[in-house]
């Protein structure tokens, strides 16, 4: 299983030296990927009486592509993973260009996790439609894969038009792997039919087993090999012991997970060094 760490960005601060030290420490410990989350705008929850979002304007989020451009230059081998970029709130061709650039600068280390998001405030601020985001994301994936693999593209879709044009440089990975986040029924269907992998965001229980069975069945129906669809599991250090973490790893492994990440946020850690120490403890427990 490919073991990685979630960059604890809402608790880490903005010191570029500390960010470098974290990435290099994770790589030195043998972690195989770093995951970053994505939010462009944080809403002021105080002015929204019914706000239920997980984050607001007080939570800091580094822009993933810029952050990965920096990490590409201070690391050598660790994978760079978004989990997830909110794709439909962004311009498709620009995302394809940014992702290709990160892939080039990192030597082919990008894994692009995408999702449709929940924060309508971001869609408003970025000038994109919140209500058709799922349907648009399917067309976005199709266009990005063509832009990553063809020198010149002509594309006439429902929401996108490209006429005999292409990005340069092309990425090293052609195409860059696209993984999907979420667990709604339409997401499950897209994972089975068009994605390279899945971020389940649900516990390893009967609901997950049912979702995995459906993905595998739909994949076969679509003429795909279910074993080629990666599964990203996760574990938080805020609960349990090293023995519990090892048990979680084995549970996910038995379910067919190909990747796992450890999340050190919301565990009472108050310093960058504390997060480095926490992923070290997990790595020692995981073996």
Res. 202: pLDDT tops 90: no
For 83-112, write each residue's pLDDT tens digit.
Answer: 999 999 999 999 999 999 999 999 999 999
* Confidence band for 40, pLDDT divided at 50, 70 and 90: very high
Predicted pLDDT of residue 236: 93
Predicted pLDDT of residue 239: 82
Domain extents for the chain?
2-286
Q: Does 2-286 carry CATH code 3.30.565.10?
A: no
C-alpha–C-alpha distance, residues 240 and 245, integer Å: 7
Query: What is the three-class DSSP state of 197?
Result: strand
Average pLDDT score over the chain: 96
For 50-78, write each residue's pLDDT tens digit.
Answer: 999 999 999 999 999 999 999 999 999 99
**H-only helix segments in the chain:** 9-12, 16-29, 64-74, 92-106, 120-126, 133-149, 185-194, 206-221, 242-255, 272-286
* Strand duo 33-36 + 79-86: pairing: parallel
With contact defined as beta carbons under 8 Å apart, do 84 and 183 qualify? no
Predicted pLDDT of residue 158: 98
């Amino acid at each position: 299983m490919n073991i990685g760490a979630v960059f604890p960005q809402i608790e880490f601060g903005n010191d570029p030296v500390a960010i470098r030290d974290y990435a290099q420490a994770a790589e030195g410990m043998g972690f195989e990927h770093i995951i970053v989350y994505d939010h462009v705008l944080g809403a002021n929850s105080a002015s929204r009486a019914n706000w239920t979002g997980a984050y607001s304007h007080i939570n800091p989020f580094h822009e993933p592509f810029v952050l990965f451009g920096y990490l590409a230059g201070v690391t050598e081998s660790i994978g760079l993973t978004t989990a997830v970029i909110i794709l439909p709130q962004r311009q498709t061709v620009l995302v394809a260009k940014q992702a290709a650039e990160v892939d080039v600068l990192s030597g082919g280390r990008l894994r692009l996790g995408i999702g449709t998001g929940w924060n309508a405030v971001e869609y408003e601020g970025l000038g994109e439609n919140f209500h058709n985001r799922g349907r648009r994301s399917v067309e976005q994936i199709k266009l990005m894969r063509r832009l990553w693999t063809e020198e010149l593209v002509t594309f006439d879709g429902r929401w996108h038009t490209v006429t005999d044009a292409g990005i340069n440089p092309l990425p090293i990975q052609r195409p860059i792997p696209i993984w999907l986040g979420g667990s709604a029924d339409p997401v499950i269907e897209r994972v089975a039919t068009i994605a390279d992998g899945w971020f389940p965001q649900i516990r390893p229980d009967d609901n997950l087993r049912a979702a995995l069975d459906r993905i595998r069945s739909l994949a076969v129906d679509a003429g795909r090999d279910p074993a080629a669809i990666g599964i990203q599991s996760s574990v938080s250090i805020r609960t349990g012991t090293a023995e519990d973490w090892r048990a979680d790893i084995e549970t996910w492994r038995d379910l067919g997970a190909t990747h796992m990440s450890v999340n050190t946020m919301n565990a009472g850690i108050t310093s960058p060094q504390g997060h480095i120490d926490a992923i070290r403890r997990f790595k020692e427990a995981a073996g």
